[in-house]
Structure 1
Amino acid sequence: MGILKDAVSLLLPARCSVCGRLADASDRLKTELPGELELCFDCLSRMIPEDKDKRWLLCLSNPYIGDPIPSMPLYMPFKYEGFFKDAIASVKFKKDMDLAVFLGRVLGKLAQEDNITGDIIVPIPLSHERQTERGFNQASVIAHELSKALRIPVMDEILVRTRDTLRQSELKMDDSRASNIKDAFALSPEWDMKGNRILIVDDVVTTGHTLHEAGEVLHYAGAQSVAGIVLCGNRYVKNDEPF
């Protein structure tokens, strides 16, 4: 069966998993793509990271008085546009797990180059309904690739969803996003976070409320520090942010 599959792949041109254009086999060899993932040269060339001094932001786009973790940082090396916007859509709606693995490796490489450190990596959990529908949690897939690059253990069981929420992308107002995700996470009772530096991982960030809500849970559980790590987002460094 494997020989037949290889023969068919030689006869039929490979299509890019993101844009659908013809993908050159030489590009696959250069990038060591996982599984059956194919990416064309055009998509690969659109993967341009932010300058190093623009990769760190405050987690919340609109900080508020009384925030228990007002200086929670966010690492975001790519903008949520072009290739990455299309790629995230393919991961979520075409259920492309190989693409999620690749994106995790890209994030891991940059995070390693930027000397990101911590004690535990915690992915944002999906609701049971969405994980069943998709078959995997893209944040967890990305987190496991980040874990390999940074040599920091990833723990999927630390955070649990306490209730289903609407998709944050469907909500336009900042207050609506905050209330939608409020109290949506809890710490599994068997875990002790005291003194640990936690890296909370998700695929995309907009307002930062999801990461911040998870960060609060871990902060109140005794974590020494919490930081958000995402692949991409539509955020910009503000002049008053201390980075």
Structure 2
Amino acid sequence: MPLLFHSMLPRVLHVLLPSSCVLCGSLGEQAVCPACTQAHARDLHTRCPCCANPVGTADGARRCGACLADAPAFDATVAACDYGAPVDRLVLQLKFASRLALAPWMAGRLREAVQARDADLPELLCPVPLGPRRLVERGYNQALELARPLSSALGVPLAPRLLERQVETAAQSGVAPGERRRNVRGAFVLAEGHPALEGVHVGVVDDVMTSGHTLDELAGVLKRAGAARVTNLVFARTPPTYRN
């Protein structure tokens, strides 16, 4: 009887407490319904394999001009979709409004993007860390909430405390584009007792990638510790036309 009860519990809860789509309000099993997912969270671009900026159809297998001219420390970026309306609303609700049910849905979209790339999976996942003050204010790290279900979906181990933010930097969204690289310089370190990274392919998980400077700084820390490859796994990539 207890086993039968536990097996039926999710279905009972779904009937008693149905979820509704954050975007259209229709009842369903996920935070965003299949119709809205299809309409708003599909990736329609050919992207630079390094930074995930949109490129021409014929250029998808090679790095874009920006990555060739100023190569970042990371090796690749996988993005599930663009950061733009109404996806931006979902990201903000996860980040600032405690809509944690959005994290598994975002992880599902990111898993599909990773599998579509048909590339080697990272051997270890880690989230972009929050500073202690911001973590206390928010109560959770949205990158970690995204990394947990993604780790399970991909079957890749998660190191939730691999990286630490040693400097409480200003939010990148509030910093002038020309100052963003300087804002995060030296902000991150590896946590004490971190696993050995020599020769390891590390995946860094975040909700949004805009300028890429934070992820570049993190990749530099990981590479100096011996990581052989760093891949960014981000739910949304801000296109150049959307950036401040």
Over the aligned positions, Cα root-mean-square deviation in angstroms equals 3.0
Change beyond 3 A, Cα 1:199–1:22:
closer
Amino acid paired to 1:45 = A
- Indicate which of 31, 43, 51 corresponds to 1:49: 43
**Secondary structure of 1:210's partner?**
helix
Give the aligned partner of residue 216 of structure 1. Answer: 220
Amino acid paired to 1:86 = R
Alpha-carbon distance in structure 1 between the residues aligned to 2:189 and 2:160? 13
Q: Deviations over 1:132-158 (max 9, x none)?
A: 222221111111222122211010111
Alpha-carbon distance in structure 1 between the residues aligned to 2:114 and 2:142? 18
Alpha-carbon distance in structure 2 between the residues aligned to 1:159 and 1:167? 18
Alpha-carbon distance in structure 1 between the residues aligned to 2:15 and 2:83? 37
**Secondary structure of 1:95's partner?**
coil
TM-score (norm 1): 0.77
Q: Given that residues 55 and 77 in structure 1 are in contact (C-alpha distance below 8 angstroms), is that contact kept between their aligned partners in structure 2?
A: no
- Indicate which of 160, 164, 170 corresponds to 1:160: 164
Alpha-carbon distance in structure 2 between the residues aligned to 1:103 and 1:6? 20
The correspondence of residues 76-87 of structure 1 with structure 2, limited to 5 A, is: 76-87=79-90
Q: Given that residues 59 and 212 in structure 1 are in contact (C-alpha distance below 8 angstroms), is that contact kept between their aligned partners in structure 2?
A: no
Change beyond 3 A, Cα 1:63–1:177:
farther
1:121 Cα offset (Å): 0.7
Give the aligned partner of residue 60 of structure 2. Answer: none
Give the aligned partner of residue 113 of structure 1. Answer: 116
Q: Given that residues 75 and 229 in structure 1 are in contact (C-alpha distance below 8 angstroms), is that contact kept between their aligned partners in structure 2?
A: yes
Show structure 1 runs of 5+ residues with no match: 237-243
- Indicate which of 74, 88, 104 corresponds to 2:107: 104
Give the aligned partner of residue 95 of structure 1. Answer: 98
1:110 Cα offset (Å): 2.3
Alpha-carbon distance in structure 2 between the residues aligned to 1:8 and 1:167? 40
1:131 Cα offset (Å): 1.9
Show structure 2 runs of 5+ residues with no match: 1-8, 54-63
Identity %: 25
**Secondary structure of 1:82's partner?**
coil
The correspondence of residues 61-210 of structure 1 with structure 2, limited to 5 A, is: 69=73, 72-116=75-119, 117-174=121-178, 176-191=179-194, 192-210=196-214
Change beyond 3 A, Cα 1:98–1:177:
same
Alpha-carbon distance in structure 2 between the residues aligned to 1:65 and 1:50? 26
Change beyond 3 A, Cα 1:47–1:188:
same
TM-score (norm 2): 0.77
